[in-house]
Structure 1
Amino acid sequence: MVGRHSLTGPRDPDPAFQESLLSCGVVTALTTACRALSQSDLPGAGIELKGFLTAIVDHMSLFPSVWLPQSLRAGLLDILFTSRHRKIVNRTLINLVKHVIFPATVSHSVLAQLQTSLSQVRDRDAKAIFRHTGLLTLWMNLIEVVESRFRILAEYHTGMLTAARASDDLECAKIRPKSELKRCSGCLAAYYCSGTCQANDWMRGGHRKTCDGLSLRREEFSHPSSRDRSFLRLVHHEWMTRREEIAQQHLLSEQIHPSEVLCTVLDFTAGIEVGPLDSSVRSRFEFDIDRVMRSGGRMELQLLKVMDSRQSRMWPFLL
């Protein structure tokens, strides 16, 4: 049976179980079946296709950075352009583009495979094939976004785009390429330009109190892969072209919330929002908020909001 529980089991699936399914080739098998059904004239093929396609979209939304690249390699985009049963599956195709592919374009693994997969359908006339205005609009918006991120991907691969961050010792706070900083061996989350900076932050900067907590949080953010997390840090720079808009929002928020620590949320599914953090989010990022308050205005907290496992997830970055 093809269905949510037949493949994933619990509502919050175990990543190890997901990896086991991947190693068995379940994503490739489902995608291949959908490709065959999308080209079939047999009676009932459209209904079968809708069931299979709905299942694969549903399951890929759990871990898109893991499942989607494998489905793309198996010819997922070909289903978009060749289905003989477009009226039956059109809503499912819209969900695929809108809720799976689009949000996943902040992932290095997805973008790298999407670059190859898109080249195989570039010569096809989306306007003539899709017909449905909603799907066509989504597709054109997707192409515009991924073209921008392909440029970031190219710079990332050539080393032109290097992640920079400040030393976590606020008395130093030197900004260096991340590769030139050394990180704490305890929490693997704090970075320093020298042993002196690390010792100073441990003795006077408060790291002694936060090291264990940062280590636990690092485990929480262990998914997706380290490469995808690294690339996510770099993707935010495309939003820096809107710094004037962000600054205006900051000024307005400071007037409304003069005593609050403000945060810029870069929502890759909606837009930019500047304002104070609610209590639930504040408790999750107390270490970052504390550093911003102690920085005397030298640091700003940014949260990147992306879709992960069917829900939005925030990743903290200090600038």
Structure 2
Amino acid sequence: MSPPNAPSQAFAREVEDLVAECLSDPSAVINAARKGSFRDLCILGECAEKLPAEFARDAFSILCTKLKVPPRPAQSSNESNAANRVPEFIREEFKETWFSIFGISKIVTTFFKVPSEKAYYMPLVTKFWENLLESTEYVMFVMLDAIVSSPDPNAAPARGNLTGFKSAAFSHIAGLYLTVYLSSETLSRDQRSAKILIKIWANTAPSDPNVLMFTRGLRKLHVMPSRQLLEWLMQECDNSVDRVAQLVKERLIISLKRANINYEEVEGNVMAIIMLCCDEQRSFRAAFLKIKGIIGAATDGFIALGKDSKAFNAEKMHTIETCAMFYFDMFRSQAGIPWIIEGVRRGYFEVLARFSSAYTSNENAKVIVDSTKMLLSRVLPSHLVLFSVIGAVGSGLDSSGHLLKALSKSACIVKDEWEIFSSIALERIIQKHIYEKINWASKSESLRVMCSTCCKADAWNTFKKCAGCQAAFYCSKECQIEDWKKRNHKGECKDMAGYTDSVYVRQRDEKFLLGLAQQEISRHLPGLRKIAERDFPGVPRRKLGYILDYRTVPITFGHFRLDDDVMGEGENQSLTRLELRKKALESNGRGSFVSLRVHQGSGSMEKNITVNVKEESPSAIEVEFKRAVGQDARGNLLETRSDAVDVVLHDLGIKDPVSWLSSTQTPVKHLCERIDAVMVNHTTQIAAAVASTHARR
């Protein structure tokens, strides 16, 4: 039989003739192979899956006995001898081992589909399992080594045919171990087979015609610890996390750009990202996040998938489910904020709209619907307290404005959750735009650094920067220690290091959050007075601090006694909290202490500040817009008073957030232009309602 690097057409004709010979008289070929005929053994390997069942059993036994790892030839220091040495991949010993694995793989993947045949072969596979693993590792090593060490990478036909031969070989090996992995609970626990699937996946080009089999194999490894998967992938990528991340990105993008999208391939690649981007794999997630365009590329692919005219069959639904879980897992991870910013800016809302037909009460859509509802009603709204997230949401809504009506149709099962998100998003966009106009007239103010722990302003440019992420600033060593140990900066440091412009983004977000907190307290002051009287009767309000929990939807408000701060005491007490609490008590009501709780990816963060809250009520303004209202710890909605957002809503006559956001091609841009006009006509009224959006440091 010709070696694998023979000219492809001649080799193909030779194989066809040999297969026809075997099928015409299988017993003769089997007997010859049993007696040691190398030629007939190779023929069995080529046509094993086409044999009748009774002959396939005999062939399987013979092939298993031929599994061996030939000794590697000694390396010669003599260049002439080394040059003349026969390449390992065309040695007869190698080919005998390879064709044995080839035939075994074909028989297993073909006959395991029949229960009675599977029952017959499984004990034999178990018996020869060790030999099978060792032989497979040997064959893969030789083939990869032959390709890498080829003197001329572009040589034809040898190079091209060897690469194609490797593709077919790896495809059959992947099929073998994937079938065994799914068929035997005992053998599936052998990590060596999983490692073989990882090696195959990592060493196959995304454009390989057999890539689906390799991706299918990786997809089935989702039950394994992601730490182990990443370790093996790194071994195949020169221990470079960046190379692993780039490899995963390339595979996903190529699978999404195919003319005929294979749903299973897309699903497998997305699941690989989800597995490797879990909170345990911080290094990979940070490297993945640094790859420019990955989220946008994935989102573009999901949009293309949503445009696909094929009916929503089970296979397509599974793929859409995985895409939904991609956003669900990424947005809720410890690195959730940068993922949210990039995701919504690059087209997450269009993906939602394109997939709207999949949001049904059908049991197959349960995961898609549940994850989407959670993102729209809880995850995204709770992050709409950050300037960067609100800005990204505005950009995303503008780029998808013409499609958003699909989410408000009565048939859309996530309609209510979309309305919740739209209402909060519209309010925050208005607050953000007003805040920019009033507070950031000069760029120097927007770029002024604050301490990441106590919010003190860096008036003399003396604050120290975190050496890890280069994004957090501290006025003292004590604040740095507190942020690292007690406020979870240890958990976010690596993720922020991979986020471009993180210094400016973090500072801007924190300043906006402080101003937003002051406005929320001012707006809910009537209700806060009542719960203070209910929960702390007889205690002067100047001795009460505020709790403002943005992690819940709606926002949860509460009070605690500044002179009996149970939450702030103990061995984990915050030095900043103690200092600000004392400052608030000594201010005699001029400064109010606020404990802010916000999401920080999958975790949370507490920030303590002092603010000035004006007691006098602004003019009452009636609006038809159903605004989000905060609640107390018991779930009771609080009484509110008018603020700057009410001025805008009233003047623009906005009644329904969903209708407004789907009314024009660029609804947010149109809204901001209208707000500018309102501010020109009502500057004094809005300024009075805002009062002062600078929290006291």
Taking structure 1 as the reference length, the TM-score comes to 0.73
User: What is the alpha-carbon distance in structure 1 between the residues aligned to residue 543 and residue 388 of structure 2?
Assistant: 34
1:8 aligned partner: 277
Aligned: 1:141 with 2:414: no
- Contact kept, 8 Å, 2:454 with 2:608, in 1: the verdict is no
1:125 to 1:287, Cα distance in 2 relative to 1, 3 A:
closer
Specify which of 372, 379, 398 is matched with residue 93 of structure 1: 372
Match of 2:405 in 1: 125
Shift of 1:218: 4.2
Which residue of structure 1 aligns with residue 529 of structure 2?
A: 247
Deviation at 1:251, TM superposition (A): 3.1
Which residue does the alignment assign to 2:596? Answer: 304
SS of the residue corresponding to residue 264 of structure 1 reads: strand
User: What pairs up with 1:38-187 in 2 under 5 angstroms?
Assistant: 38-40=306-308, 41=310, 43=313, 44-62=315-333, 63-83=335-355, 84-87=357-360, 88=365, 89-123=368-402, 124-126=404-406, 129=409, 131-132=411-412, 135-158=414-437, 160-161=438-439
Amino acid at match of 2:525: R
1:287 is aligned with what amino acid?
T
SS of corresponding position for 1:125: helix
TM-superposed CA distance for 1:182, in Å, is 9.7
- Give the distance between the partners of 1:48 and 1:74, measured in 2 at CA: 20
3-state SS in 2 of match to 1:292: helix
In the TM superposition, residue 284 of structure 1 has moved relative to its aligned partner by 4.0
Matched, 1:289 2:578: yes
**Amino acid aligned to 2:345:** R
What is the Cα deviation at residue 125 of structure 1?
A: 2.2
The yes-or-no answer on 1:313 pairing with 2:586 is no
Letter in 2 for 1:115: G
Assess if the C-alpha contact under 8 Å between 1:266 and 1:305 holds in 2: yes
- 1:221 shift after superposition: 6.5
Q: Distance in 2 between matches of 1:182 and 1:79?
A: 37
Paired residue for 1:21, among 263, 266, 288?
288
The residue that corresponds to 1:216 in the other structure is 481
Q: Deviation at 1:105?
A: 1.0
Classify 1:256/1:5 alpha carbon distance in 2 versus 1 (closer, same or farther; 3 Å). Answer: farther
CA distance in 2, matches of 1:75, 1:242: 34
- Equivalent residue letter for 2:388: S
Distance of aligned partners of 1:85 and 1:254 in 2 relative to their CA distance in 1, 3 Å threshold: closer
Q: Which amino acid aligns with 1:161?
A: N
Change (3 A) 1:284 1:65: farther
Change (3 A) 1:191 1:100: closer
Alpha-carbon distance in 2 for matches of 1:273, 1:3: 43
The Cα shift of 1:78 comes to 0.8
Structure 1: how far apart are the matches of 2:449 and 2:319?
A: 54
Q: Contact conserved, 1:107 with 1:232, CA < 8 A, in 2?
A: yes
Q: 1:128 to 1:68 in 2, by over 3 A?
A: closer
Label 1:191 to 1:79 Cα distance change in 2 as closer, same or farther (>3 A).
closer
Deviations 1:9-48 (A, max 9, x none): 443x53x653421222432343233323333326511111
In the alignment, is the contact (CA less than 8 A) between 1:264 and 1:274 conserved in 2? yes
Secondary structure at 1:273 match in 2: strand
**8 A Cα contact 1:149 1:235, kept in partner:** no
Tell me the equivalent position of 1:235: 516
Paired residue for 2:110?
none
Match of 1:272 in 2: 557
3-state SS of the aligned residue for 2:560?
Answer: strand
1:197-243 Cα deviation digits (max 9, x unpaired): xxxxxxxxxxxxx9432232345465572221222112213311111
Distance 1:231 1:3, change over 3 A: farther
Q: Cα distance 1:156–1:97, how it changes in 2: closer, same or farther (>3 A)?
A: same
Aligned to 2:305: 37
Find the aligned partners of 2:507 and 2:477 in 1 and give their Cα distance: 20
Q: Specify the alignment match of 2:77 in structure 1.
A: none
Equivalent position amino acid for 1:91 in 2: D
Q: 294-303 or 88-97: which moved more?
A: 294-303
Over aligned residues, Cα RMSD in angstroms? 3.7
Gap runs ≥5 in structure 1: 163-177, 195-209
C-alpha separation in 2, matches of 1:161 and 1:30: 37
For the residues of structure 2 that align with 1:61 and 1:183, how far apart are their CA atoms?
Answer: 27
1:4/1:59 contact within 8 Å kept: no
The 8 Å contact of residues 546 and 594 in structure 2, kept in 1 or not, is answered as yes
Contact between 1:305 and 1:313, CA under 8 Å: does it hold in 2?
Answer: yes
Conserved? CA contact 2:382–2:599, under 8 Å: yes
Q: Pick 1 or 2: higher relative contact order, CA cutoff 8 A, min separation 6.
A: 1
The aligned residue for residue 138 of structure 2 is none
CA contact under 8 A between 1:261 and 1:289: conserved in structure 2? Answer: no
C-alpha displacement of 1:100: 2.8
User: Displacement of 1:261 after TM fit?
Assistant: 6.3
Identity of aligned residues (%): 13
CA change 1:291–1:302 in 2 (3 A) is: closer
User: d(CA) in 2 for partners of 1:232 and 1:279?
Assistant: 22
TM-score using structure 2 length: 0.36
**Aligned partners of 1:57, 1:218: CA distance in 2, in Å?**
27
Alpha-carbon distance, 1:93 to partner = 1.6
Distance change >3 Å, CA 315–CA 183, structure 1 → 2: closer
**Residues 256 and 54 of structure 1, relative CA distance in 2, 3 Å threshold:** farther
- CA contact 1:288–1:318 (8 Å) conserved in 2: no
Letter matched to residue 138 of structure 1:
E
1:115 Cα offset (Å): 0.9
| Contact 2:545-2:594 within 8 A present in 1 as well | yes
Q: How far, CA to CA, are the matches of 2:301 and 2:455 in structure 1? A: 43
Asked whether the equivalents of residues 37 and 48 of structure 1 are also in contact (C-alpha less than 8 Å), the reply is no
Letter aligned with residue 139 of structure 1 = W
Greater share of strand = 1
